[in-house]
Amino acid sequence: MRLVMSAARWDCYRSKRARQVYSLLFALILLTAAPFDLAYAQTVSPLFSLPFSGQPGPSTWYVAQWYGSTIWAHRNFDDIYSQGQGLHFGVDFAAPCGTPVRAIGDGVVFAVDGPYGAPPHNVVINHEDGYLSLYGHLFQRSNLQVGQHVSRGEVIGMSGDPVTQNCNQASHLHLEIRRTGMSVAVDPVPLIDADWRALTIGADTDGSRFELFFADPGKWMTNTQQPDTEFGGPVINQSGAAWPPS
């Protein structure tokens, strides 16, 4: 991707003939390098939709925690996120219990209440391009069956609360996107078509900000710079001094 960007800018200062030469060269690179295609698709062409319909707001839903090295993840690294390298390996959408949750893309049901965490109930959908979406903390077991086809936007369950069925502590949907046979979680933000800035509605949670590492201040500081999560891998967000301390 960086090669694409830099080539384009540099080319702007060259003659038309030079541009044609570089265009052909570039097309050749793309045709012969499959990994480039995947990276391009990930960063430029969102594949999925949001898991809720309607607008975010204080009565509907909003983003309470980003994927990655959030302040909340840093604070809870050794219990909630210990299996995910200390990272928050999904996006949390705060929503009242019972809010309809929708498939973010077409796919086939891979698991219902499978062994993938996010209790009390979860659903996993297998999509094209090697991605799987996980919908966690659902209020009740989904009516979907493994192997069943679902369409983008189809209701796959209702949001719940992992702390209590009374729904008065942490009602939210935990959305993950995984690949490599469920062993790796990736940041959903670049993969979902949304105006993400508007989705936090000013709730000002510590989940909407990222930990600042003094030794590498620019590292993992925005919601498009987060590392993949390898489940079972070592914790990666606890080295050295950071702000805020936990």
Partner 1 sequence: MATKLATFASIISCLLLVSCTAPWSSRQTTSSTEQASVVNMATATEPETPHARTETNTATTQPTVASVFEPTSTKVAASPSATTSVATPSPTPIAFRGKVAGCCGTFGFIDSKHLLVFDNPAGQQTGAWLVDRASGSRTFISAGFGLSSASGLVAIPDKSAGTTNIRRLNGSLVFTIHNGGVLTWISPDGTHVAWLEDLGITNISSLVPRTVKLWTAKIDGSDATPLLTFDAAAIQWLPDNRHVIALARAPDGSSAGIWSVNTTDGTNSVVVRGTFLQALRLSSDGSRMAYLETFSGTSADDGVWVADVDGSRRVHLSESGAFRWAAGSTQLWFLKLAAAGSGNDQLLQVDIATDRVINQVDLGGRVLDDDWEVSPDGQAVVFWNEKDQSVMLQTITP
Give dist(CA 227, CA 185) in Å, integer. 9
Give dist(CA 35, CA 175) in Å, integer. 26
46/114 with CB nearer partner 1:
46
CB of 158 to partner 1, least distance (A): 14
SS (H, E, C) 80-138: CCHHHCCCECCEEEECCCCCEEECCCCEEEEEECCCCCCCCEEEEEECHHHCEEEEEEE
Q: Which of 51, 162, 188, 190 binds partner 1 (CB under 8 A)?
A: 162
Restricting to residues 101-160, which ones interact with partner 1 according to CB under 8 A?
none
234/241 with CB nearer partner 1:
241
Q: Contact between 40 and partner 1 (CB under 8 A)?
A: yes
C-alpha 29, offset from chain centre: 29
Q: Contact between 165 and partner 1 (CB under 8 A)?
A: no
Closest CA to 244 of 78, 73, 82: 73
Give dist(CA 23, CA 11) in Å, integer. 9
Of 52-60, 105-113, 143-151, 182-190, the segment contacting partner 1 by CB under 8 A is 52-60
10/143 with CB nearer partner 1:
10
Q: Which of 200, 226, 229, 237 binds partner 1 (CB under 8 A)?
A: 200
Q: Contact between 222 and partner 1 (CB under 8 A)?
A: yes
Closest CA to 34 of 130, 133, 141, 178: 130
110/210 with CB nearer partner 1:
210
Q: Which of 54, 130, 232, 244 binds partner 1 (CB under 8 A)?
A: 244
Return the structure tokens found at 58.
Answer: 């204080």
Q: Which of 106, 206, 228, 230 binds partner 1 (CB under 8 A)?
A: 206
